[in-house]
Amino acid sequence: MEVKNLTTSFFTDDGIIPAVDHVSFHINKGEILGVVGESGCGKSVTSLSIMGLVPNPPGKIISGEILLNGEDLTKLPEKRMRQIRGNDVAMIFQEPMTSLNPVYTIGNQLVEAIRLHQKMDKKQARNRAIEIMKHVGLPRAEELIDDYPHQLSGGMRQRVMIAMAMVCEPKLLIADEPTTALDVTIQAQILRLMKKLNENDQTAIMLITHDLGVVAEVCERVVVMYAGKIVEEGDVESIYEHPKHPYTIGLIKSVPDVHMKIDKLYSIPGNVPKPGSIKQGCAFAARCEFATNRCFTETPPLLDMGHGKSVRCFLHETVEDVSYSV
């Protein structure tokens, strides 16, 4: 899948907010791509744009292409888009507690997802649902299937969500902060499950998170977003070892380390600007320790650094390979 120059804006009373601003990236077959950035940087809006589910009004895809198997999702009629949703591209959300419908059983919701895209009678679909529930590691699937969501724990519900997303063996799974609402041990289990599904079923995963630790564990490549724009892209190792954008450096520094005392916990100074609130210059300039005068007047372009790496910062314009020790 390839996203080219995607811009999604919200038309609000306070003006037009470009929540996603000329964003381009791609996800290879069977790969796990991490998308990181602080709250409000446009991660969810990017994924909703891919699904064609941006709340409209006030949101709208202004420009760009989202290519999947040669089709541009931004141009498809709703009917074709419905065939793709849940079938070719599936999505799971941050809040497992509220993402399942409380008034229908797990089975009802799984069977519905299956029968939307596959010709199966109720009995076959139910068997398939039990099968997929076992596949995602849900215990006692035969009994659990008739339970209501409120009878399950958060971790189990997220497994149900994953099962529901995986029923049609999608080519791409978008996971929008799938572990944020879970406690740490459950987080690790869910991540392991996603990794396993990715390896076994060759499902590409777009893993959205603001936790760099999560990215390091499961992803191959990372896209770092800031205020609606991509500021750095590259493979996980090089971004961890040699982060180039000052924002990425800050993010890595603020990952808590077991050996670190709490009072030494680093956080990037300043607040996240709203996308589009900075009209001029680099969006990160106000918080950047390397900022020069130029950073406040000119907008840095995304520089291609070769080897699939790119970074949006003037510091890397001239020198080929500057990196900072963290």
Ligand X SMILES: Nc1ncnc2c1ncn2[C@@H]1O[C@H](COP(=O)(O)OP(=O)(O)OP(=O)(O)O)[C@@H](O)[C@H]1O
Tell me which of another protein, ligand X, ligand SF4, none is bound by residue 290, counting a contact when its beta carbon lies within the kind-specific cut-off of 5 to 8 angstroms: ligand SF4
- Kindly identify the residues of this chain, within the stretch 25-44, that bind Mg ion according to CB under 5 A: 44
Binding mask 21-60 for ligand X (x = CB under 6 A): ----------------x-xxxxxxx---------x--xx-
Task: Please pick, from the candidates 17, 73, 84, 90, the single residue that binds ligand X as defined by CB under 6 A.
Answer: 17
Q: What are phi and psi of 114, to 5 degrees?
A: -70, -50
CB atoms within 10 A of CB 69: 9
Q: Residue 253 to residues 241, 286, 292, 314: CA-CA distances in angstroms?
A: 12, 18, 22, 21
| Chain centroid offset of residue 67 CA | 17
The string of DSSP letters for 46-100 reads HHHHHHT---TTTEEEEEEEEEETTEEGGGS-HHHHHHHBTTTEEEE-S-HHHHS
Q: How far is the CB of 9 from another protein (least distance, A)?
A: 19
Task: Please pick, from the candidates 23, 193, 230, 285, the single residue that binds ligand SF4 as defined by CB under 6 A.
Answer: 285
Q: How far is the CB of 148 from another protein (least distance, A)?
A: 4
Pick between residue 71 and residue 211 the one whose CB is nearest to Mg ion.
211
Structure tokens at 237: 């190792």
Structure tokens at 242: 């040699």
Stretch that binds ligand SF4, among 121-129, 143-151, 270-278, 308-316 (CB under 6 A): 308-316
Q: Is 229 in the site for ligand X (CB under 6 A)?
A: no
Structure tokens at 300: 């840095």
Q: How far is the CB of 326 from ligand SF4 (least distance, A)?
A: 16
Tell me which of ligand X, another protein, ligand SF4, none is bound by residue 137, counting a contact when its beta carbon lies within the kind-specific cut-off of 5 to 8 angstroms: none
Give exposure, 279-299, as e/b (b: 16+ Cβ within 10 Å): eebbbbbebbeebeeebeeee
Q: Which of 326, 325, 218 has the alpha carbon at shortest distance from 266?
A: 326
Binding mask 52-91 for another protein (x = CB under 8 A): -x----------------------------xxxxxx--xx
Pick between residue 85 and residue 229 the one whose CB is nearest to ligand SF4.
229
Contact footprint for Mg ion (CB under 5 A): 44
Contact footprint for ligand SF4 (CB under 6 A): 245-246, 282, 284-285, 288, 290-291, 295, 300, 313-315
